Amino acid sequence: AKNEVKVFGKDGSLIKKRVKRLKWEILRGPKKDGYRHFMLKEIHEQPNIIRHVLKRRISRDKNDLYFENINLSEKKISKIERIIIQACGTSWHVGLVGKYLFEKHLRLHTEVDISSEFRYRNPVAGGDTLVMAISQSGETADTLAGIRLAKSKFLQVLSLCNTIESTIARESDGVIYVYAGPEIGVASTKAYTAELLALFLLTINWGILRNSISREKARKMIGELEKIPSALEELLDNQKEIHECAQKFYQTPNFLFLGRSFNYPTALEGALKLKEISYVHAEGYAAGEMKHGPIALVDEKMPVVCIALKDSVYEKMVSNIREVKARNGKVIAVATKGDDQIIKYADHTIFIPPIAEEFSPILAVIPLQLLAYHIAIKRGCHVDQPRNLAKSVTVE
């Protein structure tokens, strides 16, 4: 009717719905604020977004973390024995990082599924299983179908999304909003890092509740997270090497991205960004898999982006780099600031500030976002609206 809305069931009976009022800021259209493209603006927004979320989620004394819409009791959290993360595209890469986090710090068996596969298989899951869905838009068709499959099996569903009161948020038992703000560029940047931050904070919170992370360790981890905004600003202020790489390789038809452990998903994300906005064929691989096929592609024309930080798999990554160089491949290394050894092996080195290994994906991805952007610009591509792509995939 003109002044009211009524909802009826299939049998014609009136269904009472709870009204939620949303605070909605009316905008006169998104603005680039002096940036050439929305994607570049959104890359540069990341430090302030991280600051805002840290301030929102962490208490002043750093003893408590707030997740107001999670709808899981401490007892329920302590009884979770298995997590299934299902997501698509960039959010799937976030889920892969989540697997490393949850297994290392929570000692929780974690599986990560592509939503379009999860929805069509018959997963074996009991009552101690939590299904986690990740979606920037909150409307992704396959991820929504995966939630409905989980609910049909009476499984608890917790979602991460960026859009308040989206369909996925409403249909989940609990939700963690990542608070990245509107993202106009089709290729996700700030929503990706905001999703990562949400999982970092959730890991600390659940680690405390499950007694797998001590209060002292939690405070140290929070201290590491608080370094991220200034580290991101440092990266964004030093793009000379990235510009040089873009200039040298923008006409190259193929790229290979290699990473291990927490930064294997970063390699996948870097390859995806390059494909999405520059239309360059790029593949991301776990570096240990290089000998199982991809090494056949390496020659003097092949740029190989290697994420080789000073972490638990550093020596293994250096070994992979040496193998690439032995076959005349061109190595672009993303390395830890102060690492003089890596310069001996790489053709180009992009340094990032030191950070705890488990949090490094949030820094390591920034050079890859920028590399994809600058290559796309030099190739004359439509950065904000790449061909054939939609911001939210709402159909199968």
pLDDT tens-place string over residues 146-184:
999 999 999 999 999 999 989 999 999 999 999 999 999
**Number of other CB atoms surrounding residue 212 within 10 Å:** 15
User: 122 vs 88, which has greater pLDDT?
Assistant: 88
The alpha carbon of residue 48 and the mean position of all alpha carbons in its chain are separated, in whole angstroms, by 17
Q: Based on the domain organization, do 246 and 187 belong to the same domain?
A: no
329 shares a domain with 228: no
Same domain, 226 and 111: yes
Residues 311 and 229 both lie in one domain: no
Q: Quick check: is 12 in a domain? A: no
CA distance 250 to 393: 28
Mean pLDDT of 274-296: 95
- Whether 160 maps to a domain, the answer reads yes
Spatial distance between the Cα atoms of 167 and 158, rounded to a whole number of angstroms: 13
- Domain co-membership, 81 together with 211: yes
Average pLDDT over residues 269-289: 96
Average pLDDT, the chain: 93
Residues 227 and 352 in one domain: no
112 with 217, same domain?
Answer: yes
The whole-angstrom separation of Cα 50 and Cα 313 is 27
pLDDT confidence tier of residue 26, bands split at 50, 70 and 90: very low
Are residue 125 and residue 261 in the same domain, yes or no?
A: no
pLDDT at 6: 81
Distances (CA, A) of 92 to 96, 202, 319, 384: 6, 17, 28, 21
% residues pLDDT > 70 (the chain):
96
Residue 123: other Cβ atoms inside 10 A: 17
Percent of the chain with pLDDT over 90: 85
Query: Residue 1 has what pLDDT?
Result: 64
State residue 25's pLDDT score: 54
| Domain presence at residue 16 | no
**pTM value?**
0.93
Whether 331 and 304 have beta carbons less than 8 Å apart is answered as yes
Instruction: Tell whether 225 and 209 lie within a shared domain.
Output: yes
Domain boundary among 233, 252, 276: 233
Q: What is each CA distance from 376 to 9, 242, 338, 347, in whole angstroms?
A: 50, 13, 30, 21
Domain housing 323:
238-379
Q: Are residues 195 and 51 in the same domain?
A: yes
Q: Both 256 and 366 in a single domain?
A: yes
Q: Tell me, what's the pLDDT at 13?
A: 81
Q: Are 187 and 372 in contact (CB under 8 A)?
A: yes
Q: In this structure, is residue 317 part of a structural domain?
A: yes
32 domain residue, yes or no: no
Radius of gyration of the chain (CA): 22
pLDDT of residue 28: 55
Span 127-152, pLDDT tens digits: 899 999 999 999 999 999 999 999 99
Residue 29, in any domain of the structure: no
Domain harbouring 216, CATH code? 3.40.50.10490
Each residue's pLDDT tens digit, 331-378: 999 999 999 999 999 999 999 999 999 999 999 999 999 999 999 999
358 and 286 in a common domain: yes
Q: Which two structure tokens, joined as six digits, stand for 242?
A: 């990235």
Predicted confidence at residue 11, as pLDDT, reads 77
